[in-house]
Amino acid sequence: MGSPLRILHVVVNMNRGGAETLIMNLYRNIDRTKVQFDFLTCKPGVFDSEIMEMGGKVHRIPYLTDVGHLKYVEALKNFFTSNNQYKIVHSHMDKMSGLVLREAKRAGIPTRISHSHNTSSEGGIASKVYKWYAGNFILHSATNLLACSSGAAEWLFKRKSAETKIVKNGIVSELFDYSEEVRKEVRDELNISNDEYILGHVGRFNLQKNHNFLIEVFAKLNKKVNHSTLLLIGDGPLRTSMEKKAKELQVSDKVKFLGIRSDIHRILQSLDVFVFPSLHEGLPVSLVEAQGAGLPCIISDGISREVDLGGDLIDFLSLSEQDEWIRKLMDLQSKKFYRQSYSTLISNKGYDIRESAEYMEIFYLGLSG
């Protein structure tokens, strides 16, 4: 048998973000004798060593914000010119994929995939203008369009959104099956009693995830439900200011910043409710995972309705009505919510990672002709 088809994935770094978690889930479950993943990154990431253990290569070029536009484009050009053995480039950089795929096209790489994982750009005005500029090259440079949801396709690909293939953000569904034993274990590890009401959130500390709103809501809830705790999983530029906010609102002893974790499937078992007030999202893996763990989810109505997998677990609420969030959280706390297994539902809805991996394997092998 010949050597596997090598796919070059382009990301900023391979840390535990939603898109990166999906890529790693696909990578672990794809037939690596047929399809192998390599990565073009700009910064070190927590998954780098695992990638290399599975036979992948991690290439690195300097990032745009460190070297500026011209040097970044030059680094892309030099990379693709000297690595034109790749037949398929799969870019996960949202609007920045425009610059990546333009240089791949100029270097003669035949298949260039743009994958949308979001529904809005981050950053200030200058950053958004630059991303708009970069995004204009996508439709001229990409040969294939993928997205995690129809909203994410419409945002990045506009008039071509109907031609976009939707790749579901699959998870290892049985890993998230509810376990009373694991729930108790995790609570013991975190020094939290069994009757504590635990809210949880998984996400990078940036503007999009709206931790500011979450901590405000929790502080108000905690005045009414004193035996409540908020677990925040993740890291990012706004973490320090959110730790400060928890202090200011006098809930720093009740908000636990757990940082980046590799055992999210376990931590979800310890929660009573998953809270997700993002300003915008594509279709977050973390919400698929939370439903897989059988958790009631209180989420912002800025998130795609496609994320509701039909298990009667999701409530969409407006970010303009904080009191409604508090009322809903108190309502859930007062009722006994019985957790059950949702892995069958996850599989039936096409969110089992083995199905996603098989889909991508067929897709990639089909492209290579």
Return d(Cα 37, Cα 15) in angstroms, integer.
16
3-state helix, strand, coil in the chain (%, to 5): 45, 15, 35
Q: How far apart are CA 360 and CA 97, in angstroms?
A: 19
- Report CA-CA distances (Å) from 227 to 36, 199, 330: 49, 11, 12
| CATH at residue 116 | 3.40.50.2000
Residue 322 has pLDDT above 90, yes or no: yes
**Rounded to an integer, what distance in angstroms lies between the CA atom of residue 347 and that of residue 344?**
5
| 304 and 222 share one domain | yes
Q: What is the pLDDT of residues 255-273, one digit of tens each?
A: 999 999 989 999 999 999 9
Range of the domain at 358: 5-170+352-367
Q: Are residues 52 and 165 in the same domain?
A: yes
Cα–chain center distance at 275: 15
| pLDDT score of 335 | 81
- The answer to whether the Cα torsion of 37, 350, 182, 335 is positive or negative is positive
pLDDT in tens, 323-356: 999 999 999 998 877 788 898 999 999 999 999 9
Statement to judge: residues 142 and 226 lie in one domain: no
User: pLDDT tens digits, residue range 174-211?
Assistant: 999 999 999 999 999 999 999 999 999 999 999 999 99
Same-domain check for residues 76 and 220: no
* Mean pLDDT (whole number) for 205-233: 96
Domain check: are 160 and 16 in the same one? yes
Q: Are residues 216 and 149 in the same domain?
A: no
Residue 1 has pLDDT above 70, yes or no: no
Contact 269, 186 (CB under 8 A): yes
* Average pLDDT for the chain: 94
Contact 171, 289 (CB under 8 A): yes
Q: For residue 282, name the pLDDT band (cuts at 50, 70, 90).
A: confident
40-70 per-position pLDDT tens digit: 999 999 999 999 999 999 999 999 989 999 9
Q: The tokens of 84 are what?
A: 């034109």
